[in-house]
């Protein structure tokens, strides 16, 4: 067996939100083939909810979260992590800024998710993007899907501002089931617009959908799960 | 509101097991009065399952986990945490060794649990201790309960070795429901021996009991929850 100190460690830049970072850690455990403590992926999770609100920053209504994220990144780097995962889609707007500040690879959840979609993709299939106002406004997923000629549908501005965003903030105050109902309804509207599958492009969404055991999960690309699976594949390929 | 960088951070020395450390983080979230990301307790969780097996070490059959735990402790210390929690009862055998190596207070789960028992204690009530072979052999809870004249009952050596310990290792390989049935049965035997309540003195136990929604949880002192509540009380008293 590999020595304790030689095992690669996964750094988790969390806090966006704190619940999503814990959900991500649970997915890592569940996806892992470990049969005892010593076989699990060593992780260090910096889970600081105090990072300034990403949505406000992207509307120019609040402080940039980048300084706080860099603070967490440096803690992870000093702790000796070999790879970093950020279980927050909107935060990936700052992915390249963060990557410029560290030699450690930061997995790109957006790219990994679109690669996953491409695995069984039939030309012409429309994909629904369920995402925050901030993530949609920065075109994170739209640009990545367009690179691969995948057509997409999104909710209207009004649906996002008046229905989706309040549900995201509801998850953050532990009202996951109520939020799940909203996420399900908005996903259904994307299906009504022609989407054959839905990217859960905010890590609060699966927390809500799982709370109501929504059937939408069966036609979804769950970004939390896809990122966890990528970490599991990385770790067990390297040990 | 307190500035991002001024918020006290809780360090979590995890890995014993990795699932218990994630369960503990979920309890922190659930017990927190936060209504948005920025109000949650900032945490850094070092969750390294590679720490040598505590049970083998306490039987002199394996390497001491202390060196590995000190490695994690130093990572947490360098990361600037203000308080440390260890969501593992057996690991508290090394609590004073760890505390000697850091000026940061390491919460003592054993003492905090017994203080919680004392809050509604009726003189003469017997408490059952459900714990690992290692925790029982080091008398962690027996000594602390005796200090306060609380009588206790424990399972037989045979029950612990042949039934309890295999169930603990089952949780570590994600077989929580099967383990929960065993934990419930062994708790019932402590009740049959006169215990009015059960200390779940291993952080794998509540994972198993929750997986089967066991009624034992209603008569239990759940050490994971008690430690999480102590952290929540500490944090919100200081912010």
Q: Find the chain B residues whose C-beta atoms sit closer than 8 A to any C-beta of A.
A: 4-5, 7, 9, 15-19, 22, 25-26, 29-30, 34-53, 68, 71, 75, 78-80, 169, 172-174
- Quote the CA–CA distance of A231 and A201 in Å, as a whole number: 18
For residue B135, how many other CB atoms are within 10 A of its CB?
26
pLDDT, tens digit, 9 for 90 and up, residues A178-218: 999 999 999 999 999 999 999 999 999 999 999 999 999 99
Q: What value does the CA radius of gyration of chain B take, rounded to a whole number of Å?
A: 17
- Quote the CA–CA distance of A47 and B40 in Å, as a whole number: 9
Contacts of B44 in chain A (CB under 8 A): 44-47, 75
Residues 6+ apart with CB under 8 A from B206: B23, B200, B217, B220, B222, B224, B225
Contacts of B169 in chain A (CB under 8 A): 36
- Quote the CA–CA distance of A21 and A137 in Å, as a whole number: 23
pLDDT, tens digit, 9 for 90 and up, residues B44-86: 999 999 999 999 999 999 999 999 999 999 999 999 999 999 9
For residue A162, how many other CB atoms are within 10 A of its CB?
10
- pLDDT band of B2, cuts 50, 70, 90: low
- Quote the CA–CA distance of A218 and A216 in Å, as a whole number: 5
Sheet holding B152-154, edge to edge: B152-154, B126-130, B195-200, B220-222
- Quote the CA–CA distance of A6 and A3 in Å, as a whole number: 5
The pair of three-digit structure tokens given for residue B24, joined into one six-digit string: 């503990």
Q: What is the pLDDT of residue A5?
A: 73
- Quote the CA–CA distance of A37 and B51 in Å, as a whole number: 8
Domain annotation for chain A: domains and CATH numbers: 4-108+226-237 (3.40.50.1860), 110-223 (3.40.50.1860)
CB pairs under 8 A between A and B: 143
CB A78 within 8 A of CB A100: no
Residue B5: is its pLDDT beyond 80?
Answer: no
* Range B15-42 average pLDDT: 96
CB B143 within 8 A of CB B172: no
Residues 6+ apart with CB under 8 A from A156: none
Q: What does the DSSP assignment read for chain A?
A: ---GGGS--EEEE--SSHHHHHHHHHHHHHH---SSGGGSPPEEEEE-TTSPPHHHHHTTSS--SHHHHHHHHHHHHHTT-SEEE---SGGGGGHHHHHHT-SS-B--HHHHHHHHHHHT--TT-EEEEE--HHHHHTTHHHHHHHHTT--EEE--HHHIIIIIHHHHHHHHTT-HHHHHHHHHHHHHHHHHTTEEEEEE-STTHHHHHHHTT-GGGGGEEEHHHHHHHHHHHHHHH--
Q: How far is B109 from chain A (nearest CA, A)?
A: 21
Q: What is the pLDDT of residue B6?
A: 81
- Our CA angle for A28, A228, A92, nearest 5°, is 135
A36 to B5: CB separation less than 8 angstroms, yes or no: no
B78 to A78: CB separation less than 8 angstroms, yes or no: yes
Q: What is the pLDDT of residue B1?
A: 47
Q: Find the chain A residues whose C-beta atoms sit closer than 8 A to any C-beta of B.
A: 4-5, 7, 9, 15-19, 22, 25-26, 29-30, 34-53, 68, 71, 75, 78-80, 169, 172-174
Residue B88's SS3 state is coil
- Quote the CA–CA distance of A103 and B69 in Å, as a whole number: 27
B22 to A22: CB separation less than 8 angstroms, yes or no: yes
Residues 6+ apart with CB under 8 A from A69: A13, A51, A91, A94, A98
- pLDDT band of A2, cuts 50, 70, 90: low
Burial of residue B199 (number of CB atoms within 10 Å: 0-12, 13-18, 19+):
buried
- Quote the CA–CA distance of B154 and B68 in Å, as a whole number: 30
**Phi (first) and psi of residue B104, to 5 degrees:** -85, 130
- Percent over 70 (pLDDT), chain B: 99
pLDDT, tens digit, 9 for 90 and up, residues A114-162: 999 999 899 999 999 999 999 999 999 999 999 999 999 999 999 999 9
SS3 content of chain B, % helix, strand, coil (to 5): 55, 15, 30
Please choose, from the candidates A201, A109, A120, A121, the residue with its C-alpha nearest in 3D space to the C-alpha of residue A154: A201
Closest A-chain CA to B76: A79
A43 to B48: CB separation less than 8 angstroms, yes or no: yes
CB A198 within 8 A of CB A190: yes
Closest B-chain CA to A77: B79
Q: How far is B204 from chain A (nearest CA, A)?
A: 12
Mutate to test the interface with A, among B2, B4, B52 (most CBs of A within 10 A): B4
Please name every residue paired with B44 in a beta bridge, in sequence order, or none if there are none: A46, B11
pLDDT, tens digit, 9 for 90 and up, residues B95-139: 999 999 999 999 999 999 999 999 989 999 999 999 999 999 999
* Through-space distance between the first and last CA atoms of chain B, rounded to whole angstroms: 9
Contacts of A228 in chain B (CB under 8 A): none
Closest B-chain CA to A47: B43
Q: How far is B154 from chain A (nearest CA, A)?
A: 26
- Report which DSSP code applies to B5: G
Identify which of B29, B50, B174 has the shortest CB distance to residue A7: B50
Q: How far is B187 from chain A (nearest CA, A)?
A: 24
A29 to B36: CB separation less than 8 angstroms, yes or no: no
Residue A1: is its pLDDT beyond 70?
Answer: no
The pair of three-digit structure tokens given for residue A32, joined into one six-digit string: 């892992």
Contacts of A24 in chain B (CB under 8 A): none
pLDDT, tens digit, 9 for 90 and up, residues A21-58: 999 999 999 999 999 999 999 999 999 999 999 999 99
pLDDT, tens digit, 9 for 90 and up, residues A57-87: 999 999 999 999 999 999 999 999 999 999 9
Residue A4: is its pLDDT beyond 80?
Answer: no
Q: How far is B59 from chain A (nearest CA, A)?
A: 18
């Amino acid at each position: 067996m590999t020595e304790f100190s030689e095992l690669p460690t996964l750094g988790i830049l969390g806090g966006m939100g704190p619940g999503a970072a814990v959900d991500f850690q649970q997915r890592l455990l569940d996806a892992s083939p470990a049969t005892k403590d010593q076989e699990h992926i060593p992780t260090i999770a910096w889970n600081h909810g105090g990072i300034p609100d990403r949505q406000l920053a992207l509307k120019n209504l609040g402080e940039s979260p980048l300084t706080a994220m860099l603070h967490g990144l440096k803690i992870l780097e000093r702790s000796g992590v070999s790879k970093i995962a950020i279980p927050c889609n909107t935060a990936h707007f700052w992915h390249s800024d963060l990557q410029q500040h560290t030699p450690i690879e930061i997995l790109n959840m957006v790219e990994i998710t679109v690669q996953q979609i491409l695995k069984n993709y039939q030309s012409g299939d429309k994909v629904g993007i369920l995402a925050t106002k901030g993530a949609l406004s920065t075109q994170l997923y739209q640009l990545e899907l367009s690179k691969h000629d995948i057509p997409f549908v999104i909710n209207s501005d009004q649906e996002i501002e008046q229905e989706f965003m309040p549900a995201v903030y509801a998850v953050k105050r532990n009202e996951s089931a109520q939020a799940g109902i909203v996420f399900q309804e908005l996903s259904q509207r994307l299906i009504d617009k022609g989407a054959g599958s839905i990217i859960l492009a905010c890590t609060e969404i699966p927390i809500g959908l799982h709370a109501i055991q929504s059937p939408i999960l069966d036609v979804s690309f769950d970004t939390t799960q896809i990122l966890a699976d990528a970490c599991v594949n990385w770790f067990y390929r390297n040990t």
